[in-house]
């Protein structure tokens, strides 16, 4: 695997394969790679001829400078993991390569970006995500780009921006990879202390409780959400949000009517902000 730093090198490296008709898969990451990332890289490996992993801790999507400062970084380990999972190219640009002096353009996706993560982290969060993903897609021009369902709102934002801006790429979404006890893998999990690690299970338990409520026949979204909140309080964790929404539009769901419903939850455990989600079939 080759590590490259500039857009020019990336384009040069992909020119030959593209002309030879080889398909290109892109897996954008912020590094601190774990099984969640690696599952996406392996999936790209299985369906594309050339796999590019990007490693860029995008400053513009962080609303909290402490979170940005504390974000785990280990390019050496990431390179070894990405190579072992089947990547040919690791694109790890410096911030100045991505945002040169005078950078002035922002891609925002109205509507979907506003609730939940947008409300908690500020509207700039998804503007940062949308802009950097748009740039990475233009830099590598992949045939397929891979994202994780763990960041469900990010997936919805990216699908919409690709459609609205006619970007010629297929978006594939990989399932959320979890620890054996159900905690969703996240680069931030390494910052959880022993007791926080136990309490972090509150998010998964809330999703389980919401699912159980629907299975038991509950159709009022508020009551389903209340069941989830109650499960979290057992772990002494207060959600920032726990919401039932339509998976594509992120519009709130009031009553379940058989359509798939996304249950999304976010909470701070100690200093660490965690998110998780689950799709319910909505009852019938
Ligand atoms: P990040 O490095 O956190 O920006 O994540 C890079 C990609 O990996 C995103 O598409 C995430 O949705 C995805 N990802 C992060 N955690 C997981 C997980 N536990 N399971 C599956 N995909 C994940």
Query: Distance between CA atoms of 60 and 67, rounded to whole angstroms?
Result: 12
Instruction: Give yes or no for residue 37 CB within 6 A of ligand 1.
Output: yes
Q: What is the predicted pLDDT for the residue at 284?
A: 66
Ligand 1 centroid, distance to 153 Cα (angstroms): 12
Sheet holding 144-148, edge to edge: 2-4, 89-91, 50-55, 24-29, 144-148, 170-174
Instruction: Give yes or no for residue 173 CB within 6 A of ligand 1.
Output: no
Pocket test for ligand 1, best of 26, 28, 29, 91 (most atoms within 8 A of CB): 29
Instruction: Give yes or no for residue 176 CB within 6 A of ligand 1.
Output: yes
Tell me which of 34, 37, 76, 125 is the catalytic residue. 37
Query: Distance between CA atoms of 60 and 33, rounded to whole angstroms?
Result: 20
Residue nearest to atom 22 of ligand 1 (CA): 148
Encoding tokens for residue 182? 């159900």
* Helix pair 75-85, 35-47: axis angle to 10 deg: 40
Ligand 1 centroid, distance to 185 Cα (angstroms): 8
Q: Per this entry, what is the length of the chain?
A: 284
Active site residue 76: no
Residue nearest to atom 17 of ligand 1 (CA): 36
Instruction: Give yes or no for residue 82 CB within 6 A of ligand 1.
Output: no
Residue 71 CA, chain-centre distance (Å), reads 15
Q: What is the predicted pLDDT for the residue at 236?
A: 97
Per-residue pLDDT of the chain (284 residues; tens, 9 = 90+): 999 999 999 999 999 999 999 999 999 999 999 999 999 999 999 999 999 999 999 999 998 899 999 999 999 999 999 999 999 999 999 999 999 999 999 999 999 999 999 999 999 999 999 999 999 999 999 999 999 999 999 999 999 999 999 999 999 999 999 999 999 999 999 999 999 999 999 999 999 999 999 999 999 999 999 999 999 999 999 999 999 999 989 999 999 999 999 999 999 999 999 999 999 998 76
- Pairing label, strands 144-148, 24-29: parallel
At 26, which helix (H) or strand (E)?
Answer: strand 24-29
Query: Distance between CA atoms of 136 and 141, rounded to whole angstroms?
Result: 8
Instruction: Give yes or no for residue 40 CB within 6 A of ligand 1.
Output: yes
Ligand 1 centroid, distance to 176 Cα (angstroms): 8
Query: Distance between CA atoms of 196 and 240, rounded to whole angstroms?
Result: 16
Ligand 1 centroid, distance to 85 Cα (angstroms): 15
All residues at 6 or more sequence positions from 217 whose CB lies less than 8 Å from its CB, including other chains: 283
Instruction: Give yes or no for residue 205 CB within 6 A of ligand 1.
Output: no
Q: Look up the pTM and report it.
A: 0.97
Return the number of other C-beta atoms located less than 10 Å from residue 35's C-beta.
14
Ligand 1 centroid, distance to 217 Cα (angstroms): 32
Instruction: Give yes or no for residue 128 CB within 6 A of ligand 1.
Output: no
Instruction: Give yes or no for residue 29 CB within 6 A of ligand 1.
Output: yes
Ligand 1 centroid, distance to 97 Cα (angstroms): 23
């Amino acid at each position: 695997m080759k590590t490259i730093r500039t857009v020019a090198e990336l384009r040069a490296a992909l020119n030959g394969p593209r002309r030879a008709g080889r398909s290109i898969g892109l897996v954008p990451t912020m590094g601190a790679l774990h099984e969640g990332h690696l599952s996406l890289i392996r999936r790209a490996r299985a369906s594309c001829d050339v796999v590019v992993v990007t490693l860029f801790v995008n400053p513009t999507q962080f609303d909290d400078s402490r979170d940005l400062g504390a974000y785990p970084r280990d390019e050496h380990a990431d390179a070894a993991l990405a190579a072992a999972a089947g990547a040919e190219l690791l694109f790890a640009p410096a911030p100045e390569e991505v945002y040169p002096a005078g950078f002035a353009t922002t891609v925002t996706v109205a509507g979907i970006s506003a609730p939940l993560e947008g409300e908690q982290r500020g509207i700039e969060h998804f503007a940062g995500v949308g802009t950097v993903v748009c740039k990475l897609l233009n830099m590598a021009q992949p045939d397929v780009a891979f994202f994780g369902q763990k960041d469900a709102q990010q997936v919805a934002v990216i699908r919409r921006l690709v459609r609205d801006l006619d970007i010629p790429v297929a978006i594939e979404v990989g399932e959320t990879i979890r620890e054996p006890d159900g905690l969703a893998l996240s680069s931030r999990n390494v910052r959880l202390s022993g007791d926080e690690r136990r309490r972090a299970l509150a998010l998964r338990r809330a999703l389980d409780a919401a699912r159980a409520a629907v299975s038991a026949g509950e159709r009022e979204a508020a009551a389903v959400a209340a069941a989830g909140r109650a499960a979290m309080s057992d772990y002494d964790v207060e959600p920032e949000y726990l919401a039932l929404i339509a998976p594509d539009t992120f519009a709130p769901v009031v009553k379940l009517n058989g359509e798939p419903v996304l249950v999304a939850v976010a909470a701070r455990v100690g200093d660490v902000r965690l998110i998780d989600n689950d799709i319910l079939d909505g009852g019938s």
